[in-house]
Amino acid sequence: MATDLNGRPRTDGEPLLRVEGLVKHFPLTQGIVFRKQIGAVQAVDGISFELRRGETLGLVGESGCGKSTVAKTLLRLEEPTAGHAYFQGKDIFALGKRELRALRRDIQIVFQDPYASLNPRMTVGDIITEPWEIHSDVVPKDQRDARVSDLLRRVGLNPDDRNRYPHQFSGGQRQRIGIARALTLNPDVIICDEPVSALDVSVQAQVMNLLEEIQDEFGIAFVFIAHDLSVVRHISDRVAVMYLGRIVEIGDEKDIYERPTHPYTQALLSAVPIPDPDIEAGRDRIVLEGDVPSPANPPSGCRFRTRCWKAEDICAEEDPALIDRFGHGHPSACHFAEIREVVTS
Amino acid sequence: MARYLARRLLQIIPVFFGATFLIYAAVYSIPGDPIRALAGDRPLPASTIEALRDEFNLDDPLPVQYAKYIAGLFRGDFGQSFRGREVSEILRQRFPVTIRLGLLAFAIEVVIGLLAGLLAGLRRGSFLDNLVLVSTTFVISIPIFVLGFVAQLVLGVRFGLLPVAGLREGWVSYVLPAMVLGSVSLAYAARLTRTSLVENLRADYVRTATAKGMPRRRVVGRHALRNSLIPVVTFLGVDLGALMGGAIITEGIFNIPGIGREVFVAVRGQEGTIVVGIVTALVMIFIFSTLLVDILYAFLDPRIRYE
C-alpha cells in the first residue's frame, strides 16, 4: 500500500475532496467615481466533482473555459462566488485565516509557467525551505538540510543545486523545482495547473513521468489541468471535460476516450492528431464552427448549442443536467447524448 | 566583480574628457567678450585688456585653451574666475549648501514617495490609490517655479510655518526648498513604486508564496516588495545625481547660494573656468551615483552578474 512521507498509509474510500456547485463570477464594472456592476464573466458556473485519495482527475477544455479558475478557487487564491468544496469533510470556502494556512499544507499547486512562478531573488534552497518557516512542525530543524537534498534528488536534480537561482535552470528543471516545492509540506492533494504546457514535448514526457512516480510513491491525489488530451489521458484515472465554465462530461479515462457521449468531447477527440498517416487519412473529423461564446454572455440552455451539429429547440430552452444517461457511471450533459467511437491513437 | 568595477572606472576617463571638452567648447562659443563685459560701461585701457586676455589664454585657439585648462586641473588648479576668485574656493563654499539641499530633498522623496507608492499599490483602486494618482499627476504637471512660489506664499508668508527664503535660520531654511525640489521626483517615485508593486503582486511567484501558506505580510514584504524595488532603486540612484546637480530654478526662487545659482551667474558672465569646474564636479557625482546603482543592482537581483 502506498504510504506518505511520514509512513502513514493512504487509504481509499471516502472522497478526499468533494466540490459542489462551485461558481466564480468576475464582476464587470462601469464608471470611475460611482462604480456599478453591469454584468459578470461567468468563468466557472456550477461545477461539482469528487477526488479520491491517490487518484488523478484530469480537467480538460479550451483556453478560457475556467480550468485554472477552478484551481485557484480550490486553493482560495481566488474567492469563490458560491458553492462548497469539502476537504476531508471541512468546507474549504468557509475556513478562517488560521485554518486556511493549515489547508495549504494539505493542498498544494504546481503552476503552469515555471519561469514566472519561482521568485527570481531566492535560491532554490530558500524556495523549498520557506514553507517550513511557517509550518515549522512538518520537518524538524535538524533534518531540513537532509530533506532538501532528498527532495532535490527525488525530482531529479542535484542536491548541490540548492544554492543556485531559478534563472540558472532550464524550463524542465524549473518545473522540477516547482514540484519539489509543492512536496515540501507533504500534501494530500496537488493541483497541477497545466504543469507541462510551457515545456518542450520531450521534456513534457520527463516531467509527466516524474509526476506519476511521485504519485505512486507518496499516494498524492492530483487534479491535473491541461488542454492537451493525450497528456491528460496519459496520467488520469478519471477525466472531466469543461466547456464555458461547466463540466459537460465526466467519467473514467476509458469511458471518455473510448466511449465519449457528449458532442463536444467527441469533437475534441476527433481533433487529436494520430501519428499513423493511414489511420489519420481514413478517419472522419468533426470540425466545430464558430468561436467559443463570451463567458460574460453565455447562450441560454445548453452552452454548447451554438456550435453543436445536433442542436434543436430544446437545447436553447432547457439546460441539460450532468447526469448518467446510459447507466455506465459516466454522466454527460447533453439532451442527445449518444456513444460514438472516435478513433484515437 | 573586480574586473567589472575596473572596467567601469576606466570608462570614467573618456566620459570625463568628453564632458569637460563639450562644456568648455560651449562656453567658448558664447558670443560676446567676457573681458569687456567685466568692466561694464567704462572702457578698460587697451593694455589691461591685453594683459587679461593673455592671463586667461583667451587668444589661443580652443584646443590649446582646453589643453592648458586640463593641465591645470591635473595639478589641482581649478583656475580663477575673471574677477580673481579661485574656482576651488567657490566649489568649497557652494557645494555643501547644494549637497545639504539635495540630500534633504532626496530623503523626502524616498520616505514619502515610497510610502505613498506602497500604500497605493497595496490597495489598488481604493480612495487612497486614486488620491496618490491624481495628486502626483498634479505635481508633475505644474512647473516647478509655480510650485515654489505657491509654497513660499502659503507655507512661508501666509502661515509663517517655514522660512520663506535664504539660509539664515539654519537647517529649517532648507525644508521648504527641499520639499519643492523633491516634489516632482517624489511623484515619479510614488508612481513607479505603485506600478511595480501592482505588477509584482500579480506575479505567479507571489501566488506560489501564498499557496505555501505564507502570511500576507510576508508575501508582500519578502516576495512582492523586494522584487518591485529594483526599478525604483535605479530611478532613485540616477535622481540622486540629478538632485546633487543643484537646482537652478529652486535655488533661484529661495535665494540659496548653492551650485545651481553659481552656474547660472557664471554662464551669464561667460566665466568658462567656473562653469567647467562645477560641471566637471557634477559629471563625476553623476558617474559615481550611477555606478553605485549598478553595483547595488547585483545585490538586489541575482540574475545580474557582472563578468
Nearest to B226 among A121, A123, A167 (CB): A121
Q: Is the ipTM of this complex over 0.90?
A: no
In tens, the pLDDT along A235-270 reads 999 999 999 999 999 999 988 888 899 999 999 888
Q: Measure CB to CB from residue A104 to each of B212, B223, B303 and give the nearest one.
A: B212
SS3 for chain B is CHHHHHHHHHHHHHHHHHHHHHHHHHHHCCCCCHHHHHHCCCCCCHHHHHHHHHHCCCCCCHHHHHHHHHHHHHCCCCCECCCCCEHHHHHHHHHHHHHHHHHHHHHHHHHHHHHHHHHHHHCCCCHHHHHHHHHHHHHHHCCHHHHHHHHHHHHHHHCCCCCCCCCCCCCHHHHHHHHHHHHHHHHHHHHHHHHHHHHHHCCHHHHHHHHCCCCHHHHHHHHHHHHHHHHHHHHHHHHHHHHHCCCHHHHHHCCCCCHHHHHHHHHHCCCHHHHHHHHHHHHHHHHHHHHHHHHHHHHHCCCCCCC
- Between CA B246 and CA B252 the distance in angstroms is 10
Domain residue limits, chain B: 94-258
Q: Measured between beta carbons, which residues in chain A are less than 8 angstroms from residue B210?
A: 77
Ordered per-residue pLDDT tens for chain B, 307 residues = 777 778 878 888 888 888 888 888 887 777 766 666 666 667 777 777 777 777 777 777 888 888 888 888 888 777 777 777 888 888 888 888 888 888 999 999 999 999 999 999 998 888 899 999 999 999 999 888 888 888 888 887 788 777 777 777 777 788 888 888 889 999 999 999 999 999 888 888 898 888 888 888 888 888 888 888 888 988 888 888 888 776 788 888 888 888 888 888 888 777 777 888 888 888 888 888 888 888 887 777 777 666 5
Question: Is any Cβ of chain A less than 8 angstroms from the Cβ of B207?
Answer: yes
Instruction: Report d(CA B307, CA B299) in Å as an integer.
Output: 14
**What pTM value is reported for the model?**
0.74
Q: Which of B207, B210, B301 sits opposite A121 (nearest CB)?
A: B301
Q: Which residue of B has its CA nearest to A117?
A: B205
Q: Is a pLDDT exceeding 50 seen at residue A229? A: yes
Instruction: State the smallest CA–CA distance between residue A333 and chain B in angstroms.
Output: 33
Nearest to A116 among B203, B212, B300 (CB): B203
CA separation, residue B107 to residues B100, B111, B164, B184 (Å) = 11, 6, 21, 13
B301: which chain A residues are within 8 Å (Cβ-Cβ)?
Answer: 120-121
Are the C-beta atoms of A43 and A66 separated by less than 8 Å?
A: yes
What is the nearest CA distance from A236 to chain B, expressed in angstroms? 24
Q: Do B213 and A131 touch (CB under 8 A)?
A: yes
Find chain A residues with C-beta within 8 A of B205's C-beta: 116-120
**CATH number given to B94-258:** 1.10.3720.10
What count of CB pairs under 8 Å joins A to B? 65
Cβ separation B204–A111 shorter than 8 A:
yes
CB contact under 8 A, A120 and B303: yes
A109 touches chain B (CB under 8 A): yes
**A67-112 tens-digit pLDDT:** 989 999 999 988 999 999 999 888 999 988 888 888 888 999 999 8
Cα(A82)–Cα(B38) distance, rounded to whole angstroms?
84
